[in-house]
Amino acid sequence: MKNNQTTIKDIARKLNLHHATVSRALRDHYGVSPQTKEKVNALAKELDYNPNSIAQSLKNQKTKTIGVVVPKISHDFFSTVISGIEDVTYKADYSIMVCQSSEDYEREVLNTYNLASNRIAGLLVSIAQNTKNTQHFGSLLHQGVPIVFFDRVCDNIDVSKVVVDDYCGAYKAVEHLILKGYKRIAHLAGPKHLTICRNRLEGYLSALKKYCVPFDEDLVVYGEFDRGSGIAGMKKLLQLSDPPDAIFAINDHVAVGAIMHAKENGLKIPDNIAFVGFGDDIISTVVDPPLTTVAQNQYEIGKTAAELLLDQIENGQDTIVPISKTLKTELIIRLST
């Protein structure tokens, strides 16, 4: 058999496996046993399997390109997620095309339609902070383009999603502050309509309730995901007649903004006020003092989302039951508490 004629189906036939199993094994999918992966990769090497993605694209009238839309490529969180996506898609002989919405709904819509016009095989997306209308995603699904959401998801669209346990992460963060002796714990929250923000708020409230810490609605300040929101929120909290002695922020960037404003006002951290962020962004390790935060496995988020999408592409969207995967978080304790 000539090398350039070897296909996944040829390998599957020789090993008496389904072609989808062979495809998953070749990209090191978690759902395939190590023994099967070893057999598949050994035969693929023996047959010099080398898929011609261009020829396949022409035959299927689709490219072997995955579209990825994120709010900010510059954020450590999203750049690491993209690394997880790229590693999985590369092994499956797909490439990725990455766009950023810059937290703007209109730009997200434009990116989505531009990617669709390039005949992407599927779309991975984390929505912008002001996205409420999801018609652009519905349009792609109607065209048969599979979608998987990660991190910031759309609840009203029935597709696969990959998130972290935002509720549990927030609960552990606030519990840590309570057990350290802090009494007036504020929450610098994100946009009210986003699921991750609601879940982190619920975790905050549940921890207060569990330890009988009175809830003060003045201690919850809503904002966005950037450092400026942290500065503005901290300024508002310090103007209260009874200001907080601890802050749980929606993410690390907001926490760092709040720390900056607190230090400008002469507060010592953590003696006068403590801070906990969310995300374990690289910025959490370089701020002074280093930030206690809730770590997410960003790489695993990207890897899992890409695997779910490739399963849909290879097996057909109509045969897939949407899956929601929730990954664990970990509290990383540093000097800010």
Same domain, 93 and 116: yes
Whether 208 is in a domain gets the answer yes
* Residue 263 belongs to a domain: yes
> Does residue 103 fall inside a structural domain?
yes
Q: In the numeric block, which tokens belong to residue 139?
A: 């349009």
Coil/strand/helix, residue 175:
helix
pLDDT attached to residue 45 = 81
Neighbours of 321 (CB within 10 A): 6
In angstroms, the CA 117 to CA 139 distance is 12
Tell whether 61 and 207 lie within a shared domain.
no
Handedness of CA 202, 207, 208, 212 (dihedral sign): positive
Looking at the structure, tell me whether residues 189 and 275 fall in a common domain: yes
pLDDT band at 169 (very low <50, low <70, confident <90, very high): very high
pLDDT for 321 beyond 90:
no
Same domain flag for 4 and 71: no
User: Total structural domains in the chain?
Assistant: 3
- 57 falls in which pLDDT band (50, 70, 90)? very low
- Asked if residue 267 and residue 316 are part of one domain, the reply reads no
Judgement on whether residues 38 and 97 belong to the same structural domain of the protein = no
User: Does 335 map to a domain?
Assistant: no
Establish if 176 belongs to a structural domain: yes
Q: Which of 46-55, 81-90, 218-227 has the lowest mean pLDDT?
A: 46-55
Range of the domain at 3: 1-51
Assess contact for 224 and 190: CB atoms under 8 A.
yes
